[in-house]
Chains A and B, each alone.
Chain A
Amino acid sequence: MENKNLSKNLYLRQFNESNAIAYSEAFVSNTSDYNFQLLDNAYRNAGKIYAKLKIAVETNKCSSEHCSVELTQLKQLEEAPKVSLDFLSSLIAELSVTDEANFDLNNDYRYTVANSLMNGKPGYSKTDGYSAYLDLLPDGSQQIVFVGPAFPIPLIINSAALNSLVTSDTSLIASTPDINAEMLRLLTEVGVFAADAVNENGELKSGAKITEEFVVMNADGSVDYEIIDIGNGKGRNVLKYDMDKIEKKVTPFINAEVAGLMSSEQDAIAAWNVYISKGTSVEEDAQMAQDANAGSSSWSYEEDLPLQQDKKVLFETKYKEYFMNNYLKQFTTNQFPTVKEDAAVFDLEEAKKAQAQKFLKDNDLN
């Protein structure tokens, strides 16, 4: 089944980033009208209504008993500008998520269009067939309505509904967590690096190494190196790590991180769709290739929330894999010994002979 949000958001993003509009004859040769004038239009008749209500109350010619309805409407009108300001501010903040570099394209594409319209981006003007209205509703709430070619039906957002969402720590559009920052911080927290490997900003120092506690040792207490072929008949020792021990150590900390992430399940879905599902790195995602995201294995905001237990477990598993493969692996691969003599380049053939001799000696086979 086609993922409409994914394909439309991808198109919109590519369109906005491609500069293609600069080569549109129709766009360049005409003026574009972005005068949506939301507030002006919303309050155009407000003055008259306010005046009528005020006169009715002051002359005691109200239609309701004790002017209760008129007084309520007056109060609503007096408070309306603040509501408008708060609503627009909140709406713009929510819509701005669609401009984030790691925005999950599985979000409702109509918000991407609404953001483009609100920001007066080329291609979303009145001239292009778009329009937006701010309406003051009888119950004191307000609504904004977006219409235009990209909206099969008008997109309506109510101020009270938006406020309610925001108050309950829910977003209109899911923001993708900064996985790279999370993972780098997590590296310092999982307990495999010494405390002095972390700088004052809480970041790993360059050259940080996993502590010796996790290095594989021989029975006699010496380090059990792995020999790697570096070409031209030469070899080097590299450290071997006890990956089971490392995994056992880091797992509780990773699980705690996931629990924190799950405090906003919509953000967790965004992280899943953009990074975790396919294990794509931040660099890969930056390429904005459609197949670098979850694609067909995406989770849907509309259908998969609240997240079922099996999905939470899957998320935790894949999150750990992501951490181990994209962040921790570099510290367990091709790590040279700290002992200078052991770190030297050597002749591979001689090393193999020496190893064979040692084996014969250790096993009393000479």
Chain B
Amino acid sequence: MTPEVIGGFGQIVGSVFSGLSARKARREAEKEKKRLTKKLNRLEANRQEIINPYEGIQDLSSMISNPFANLSVATGAAEIQIEQADISLANTLDTMRATGASAGGATALAQAALQSKKGVAASIESQEKANEDKRAQGQQFMERRAVAEAERLQNADVSGREFVYSEQEKREQQQLDRTASLIGMAEAARAQATADQTSAISGGIGNLGTFAGSAFGKPKK
């Protein structure tokens, strides 16, 4: 801008320019404030929702079962015992008949055979029971471990979510704080620029008094 273009006194042209930079600064500060306010609003609108870290927790009671509920009664051994005793008795009787032994001897033999089979059956039953107990104990151990593992995983999941949330929250809050602080700075810049502009215009008005007085044929001092 040259004084010739505007005309008037050089001081007036000068005041146009001194007001110019303040005006631009004010406009920029206003724009910046508006921009930051919009940005802050968007950041606030898009903040992550508050999560419930326990939301995913499941009722683990269904995983717990009574390992003894399915224990079988050792009836098989008893049936074998009876069956084998019957067979043994039948065989002995056949032998007795063939050899012409007395009825009393046959009875005694049959009782002996019966006692013998009772012992075998008792042994089988004892083994079966022991095996069953072991299976139950194993099952119980496995289930305890499974529940513990599930609890561990869930605790890890909860802690993880809490961590992610707090980290995200921390970063978002930093960003919100920073943007809000920048808005404050933009407002301060705007206020300062407005004051500068007012000061420049006031200075110009003094000069314009002279100019206007001259133009209106009544110079002012």
Contacts and interface: CB of A to CB of B under 8 A. Distances in A.
Interface of A: 34-41, 43-44, 46-48, 50-51, 77-78, 80-82, 84-86, 88-90, 92-93, 96, 117-120, 132, 166, 169, 171, 189, 191, 195, 252-253, 255-257, 259-264, 267
Contacts, number: 137
A38 B201 contact: no
A169 B12 CA distance: 27
Given A47-B216, A260-B38, A120 B20 contact: no
Interface of B: 1-2, 4-8, 12, 15-17, 19-20, 23-24, 27, 30-31, 34-43, 46, 171, 174-175, 178, 201, 204-205, 208, 211-212, 214-217
A86 B201 contact: yes
B1 A189 contact: no
B216 A51 contact: yes
Interface of A is mostly: helix
A92 B7 CA distance: 15
12 contacts: A35-B7, A38-B6, A38-B8, A43-B212, A86-B19, A88-B16, A191-B175, A256-B46, A257-B39, A259-B38, A261-B35, A267-B31
A48 B38 CA distance: 52
Nearest to A120: B2
B195 to A, nearest CB: 16
Contacts of B171: 191
Given A47-B216, A92-B16, A93-B23, A256 B34 contact: no
Contact of B4 (A89, A96, A120): A120
B8 A40 contact: yes
A262 B8 contact: no
Given A47-B216, A51-B217, A89-B20, A255 B46 contact: yes
A90 B23 contact: yes
B41 A259 contact: yes
B5 A36 contact: yes
A119 B17 CA distance: 12
Contacts of A48: 217
A329 B25 CA distance: 34
Contact of A169 (B34, B175, B178): B34
A120 B204 CA distance: 22
Closest 10 CB pairs between A and B? A260-B39, A37-B7, A39-B8, A40-B7, A259-B42, A43-B215, A81-B208, A256-B42, A260-B35, A50-B216
A80 B209 CA distance: 11
B215 A166 contact: no
A120 B7 CA distance: 13
Given A39-B6, A261-B35, A47 B20 contact: no
Given A39-B12, A256-B42, A263-B35, A34 B5 contact: yes
Given A47-B216, A85-B204, A85-B208, A260 B24 contact: no
B5 A93 contact: no
B16 to A, nearest CB: 5
Nearest to A40: B7
A50 B217 contact: yes
B30 A169 contact: yes
